Amino acid sequence: MAKLRNLPAYVGRSFLGGVGAVGGTTLFMLLGVSRIFSSAKIFPRTFRQLYVIGYQSLFVILLIGIFCGMVIGLQGYYTLVRFGSVGLLGSAVSLTLIRELGPVLTAIMLTGRAGSSMAAEIGVMRITDQIDALDVMGIHPMSYLVSPRLLAAVISFPLLTAVFDVIGIVGGYLTGVLMLDINEGAYFYRIASSVEMSDVAGGFIKALVFGLLVTTVCCRQGYNTHRRRDSAGPEAVGNATTSAVVISCVLILASDYVLTSFLL
Amino acid sequence: MHKWDIEFVHLDAGYGERAVLRDICAALPAGRISVILGGSGCGKSTLLKHIIGLSQPMGGTVRIGGQDFFALKAAAFRRVRRQMGVLFQDGALLGALSLAENVTLPLSEHLALPKPLLREAALRVLGMVGLQDFADYYPNQLSGGMRKRAGLARAIIAEPRILLCDEPTSGLDPVTAARMDELLLSMHEQFADMTLVVVSHDLASFRAIAEHALVLRDGRVIFSGRPDELERGEDPYVRQFLQRQSGDQGQTQRAALNPLARAALDAWLAS
């Protein structure tokens, strides 16, 4: 009975907590973005983050992209063959990748590879006083840690999405043309005739938004490691990393739905 | 009041709603080595965080050079902060940077100095703490004592007027701890105007370097004054603390283990 009486209070607290988290994350992102323009040494740090987020993630993106394209090619072929329209395989593979799977899967892969490492690295810096040390030295921790990552993510997420799309189309080619014997010319003709600039732009807009969301969430989780109520010390870093990945993945899929509604 | 005196004015501090320090009223004189003493969890590090301005007080304030530190506007706050160097407990060196890059970080961030000049400045301060041969090492390649010395080098590179050290000798062997004390004394000789504040519970270190003592117990100041006055003090806790007595005569009662657990443990030990 007492638990039932506490239910409204619990719901209210959870709601307020959720609103606070959304507000806090938005402010964190705005502060991080504003610091891009006021930080004198943003570019050398951004280049380092481009290497970490972009270059070091390239191999995994290529790997996932090729298999993803091959699976879509295979599934698409056996679906289209029922309707006698295997010639449309090029359109199916390219539109699925460019509009939807490219940005979403790239963002999810980057969350696992780069986002988790951001949360863990910043979390360790927090619990070992390194962020306090930056503050004492007059170096704004947001300028030093968050803004370069945000800028690097805004650059590398769309580029890696483009790589994913292209390699996915190659994967579809491998299954459709080389293994299942679809006409090569028809495959590429359908891609050229069905993909429009708005599809490509929509995919890039999604990648850009996902980049901002993932980086903000992962950096914020690491940055606030010391404020966690469920744990402290190294355990808090682990929990912050897990939260960063889970929240980012949920946000990617939820925002994908919203963006798709606007872009279609 | 001298320019870099530190004064606590009815300072209440804590985390969330939990008060750790209550009504702290004391002063740390400028140009001297002050040691803040006290047992674990008495609020020493919390007090230090308030001197640096990393935490906001729950009540009262900290005056630095007569100015209410927490009432200063952002630019003035940063100006006062610039005069502080801090040695954190484990050095707090940035893992991604070499020692030379770590110690010159305050300079490379704020001044447009050429790289050779920064390198020279790094080697100069690393030389002062005996680490000139380790300039290109990364923090994870160094021992705890070396990391602390590197942290000290970073704290002094901008020649601050206030140097704050959080447990500089904790976790160090007696020889390395004595070397750290000598380093602090040599810093004090080289920068005579520097106000040095050391948070510690290391009695040997306190006796080696202190010119002023502040003793905390359960979040309150129980002594503030000269070390010789402290040594002559009659306060029972202070006596206990200085003589390293536990207060419960070190007796512990051995509680019997549950018979079932005892039998299982014996069987495992015998297996």
B6 touches chain A (CB under 8 A): no
Rounded CA separation A207/A200 (Å):
11
Locate B104 and state its tokens. Answer: 């010159």
Portion of chain A with pLDDT greater than 70, in percent: 100
Choose the closest CB to B81 out of A125, A134, A138: A138
Contact at 8 Å (CB) between B152 and B87? yes
Rounded CA separation A87/A184 (Å):
10
Task: Test A138 with B105 for CB contact under 8 angstroms.
Answer: no
Mean pLDDT of chain A: 93
B208 min Cα distance to partner chain A (Å): 27
A136 touches chain B (CB under 8 A): yes
A196 touches chain B (CB under 8 A): no
What pLDDT is attached to residue B34?
A: 93
What pLDDT is attached to residue B251?
A: 53
User: Residue A77's pLDDT band (boundaries 50, 70, 90)?
Assistant: very high
Burial of A149 (0-12, 13-18, 19+ CB in 10 A): buried
Q: What is this model's ipTM?
A: 0.84
Task: Test B105 with A139 for CB contact under 8 angstroms.
Answer: yes
B106 touches chain A (CB under 8 A): yes
For B19, the 3-state DSSP assignment is strand
What pLDDT is attached to residue A264?
A: 78
pLDDT score of A1 more than 80? no
- What are the tens digits of pLDDT across the range A6-56? 888 889 988 898 899 999 999 999 999 999 988 778 899 999 999 999 999
- What are the tens digits of pLDDT across the range B4-45? 889 999 999 888 778 888 999 999 999 899 999 988 888 888
B93 min Cα distance to partner chain A (Å): 6
Task: Test B88 with A133 for CB contact under 8 angstroms.
Answer: yes
User: Residue A92's pLDDT band (boundaries 50, 70, 90)?
Assistant: very high
A38 touches chain B (CB under 8 A): no
B248 touches chain A (CB under 8 A): no
pTM for the structure as a whole: 0.86
Contact at 8 Å (CB) between A136 and A33? no
What pLDDT is attached to residue A244?
A: 96
